[in-house]
């Protein structure tokens, strides 16, 4: 709901105004509210979003909250590590353990080991929206798979509409990105470094890190006189197609592996936070030189040494 009234074209924070379209008393001191955010564009009504909220009166105040608990009262629960899984009928135990393993691995690196995660396993994103009280939101129109999440202090709630309780589409690579954004603003994250971490810790496209290394070594064998700096700056793929793998991401994985071994993960976080990728990558190379001593002019030589150790 944050900034839901904002219209980008008019730069107006309150263009889509909220209307209370229903208020129903469910029981003493508890109400169901329905809100609609609408505006007029070129003389025609446009709907931005519609939400359902619950409100409870207590100590002369009203507390507002999403209907998630109410909607999932009959769901089952299973705990693995620091993850509580909520699901309707059955759950893939092996994949749940795998999820909990990567959850612990990533949070340990990010210094969030005490965090408790509750994961709601929905059948699809539309169910995730329904369970959280989002009847409609224009930004989600046509979206089939996605997740909603909230993080506060030492707790995370994830309403997953990407993989079901069977975990058919669970990807440790994507999970890394999700966990990193709990502790680091997307505005600060350098994507090639972020992707390098995801390759190293979670693989990519269903491939493990070892399998990615094998593919890259075969590619590098055919690039005897490669200019790795140019390939990095150009965003070249070493595996093409619908599931590409990038040279720059792999190189970052090697640099991250070395940096973490020598200086710990705090140094990796500093490289991750060097800022969004920009033309020429000046911010990246400045951070890389500060943390590793590797200048842009020395990049090729150092990459060759890292590859020689594969």
| pLDDT number for residue 281 | 96
| pLDDT number for residue 13 | 85
Count CB atoms within 10 A of the CB of residue 103.
24
pLDDT score of 122 more than 80: yes
pLDDT score of 237 more than 90: yes
Mean predicted confidence (pLDDT) in 249-271: 97
Q: Whose CA is closest to 30, among 54, 66, 59?
A: 54
For residue 189, give both structure tokens: 């994250």
Give residue 73's region: left, alpha or beta (phi > 0; psi -120 to 50): alpha
| pLDDT number for residue 224 | 80
For residue 168, what pLDDT band results from cuts at 50, 70 and 90?
Answer: confident
Contact 185, 212 (CB under 8 A): no
Mapped to the 3 state alphabet, what secondary structure does 205-268 carry? CCECHHHHHHHHHHHHHCCCCCCHHHHHHHCCEEECCCCCEEHHHHHHHHHHHHHHHHHCHHHH
pLDDT score of 92 more than 90: yes
pLDDT score of 109 more than 80: yes
Mean predicted confidence (pLDDT) in 173-196: 96
Give residue 12's region: left, alpha or beta (phi > 0; psi -120 to 50): beta
Contact 50, 34 (CB under 8 A): yes
pLDDT score of 11 more than 90: no
pLDDT in tens, 261-274: 999 999 999 999 99
| pLDDT number for residue 28 | 82
Mean predicted confidence (pLDDT) in 14-25: 93
pLDDT score of 118 more than 80: yes
Distance CA 39, CA 44 (A): 8
| pLDDT number for residue 114 | 86
pLDDT in tens, 132-159: 999 999 999 999 899 999 988 889 999 9
Window from 4-8, 101-105, 190-194 with minimum mean pLDDT: 4-8
pLDDT score of 2 more than 90: no
Q: What is the mean pLDDT of the chain?
A: 94
Mean predicted confidence (pLDDT) in 263-286: 97
pLDDT score of 21 more than 90: yes
Distance CA 276, CA 260 (A): 21
**N-term to C-term CA, the chain:** 48
Distance CA 95, CA 77 (A): 15
| pLDDT number for residue 124 | 94
């Amino acid at each position: 709901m944050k900034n839901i009234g904002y219209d980008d074209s008019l730069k107006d924070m309150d263009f889509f105004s909220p209307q209370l379209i229903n208020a129903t008393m469910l029981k003493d001191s508890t109400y169901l509210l329905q809100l609609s955010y609408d505006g007029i564009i070129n003389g025609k009504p446009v709907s931005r979003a519609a939400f359902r909220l619950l409100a409870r009166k207590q100590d002369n105040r009203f507390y507002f909250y999403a209907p998630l608990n109410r909607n999932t009262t009959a769901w089952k629960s299973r705990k693995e590590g620091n993850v509580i899984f909520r699901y309707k009928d059955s759950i893939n135990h092996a994949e749940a353990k795998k999820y909990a393993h990567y959850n612990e691995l990533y949070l340990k690196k990010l210094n969030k080991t005490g965090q408790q995660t509750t994961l709601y396993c929905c059948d699809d994103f539309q169910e995730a929206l329904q369970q959280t009280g989002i009847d409609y939101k224009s930004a989600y129109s046509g979206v089939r798979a996605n997740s909603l999440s909230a993080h506060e202090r030492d707790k995370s709630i994830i309403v997953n509409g990407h993989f079901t309780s069977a975990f058919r589409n669970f990807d440790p690579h994507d999970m890394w990105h999700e966990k990193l954004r709990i502790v680091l603003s997307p505005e600060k994250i350098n994507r090639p470094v972020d992707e390098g971490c995801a390759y190293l810790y979670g693989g990519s496209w269903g491939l493990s890190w070892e399998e990615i290394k094998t593919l890259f070594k075969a590619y590098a064998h055919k690039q005897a006189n490669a200019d790795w700096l140019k390939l990095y700056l150009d965003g070249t793929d070493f595996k093409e197609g619908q599931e590409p793998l990038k040279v720059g991401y792999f190189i970052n994985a090697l640099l991250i592996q070395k940096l973490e071994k020598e200086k710990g993960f705090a140094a990796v976080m500093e490289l991750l936070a060097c800022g969004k990728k920009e033309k020429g990558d000046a911010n990246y190379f400045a951070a890389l030189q500060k943390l590793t001593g590797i200048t842009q002019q020395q990049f090729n030589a150092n990459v060759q040494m890292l590859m020689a150790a594969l």
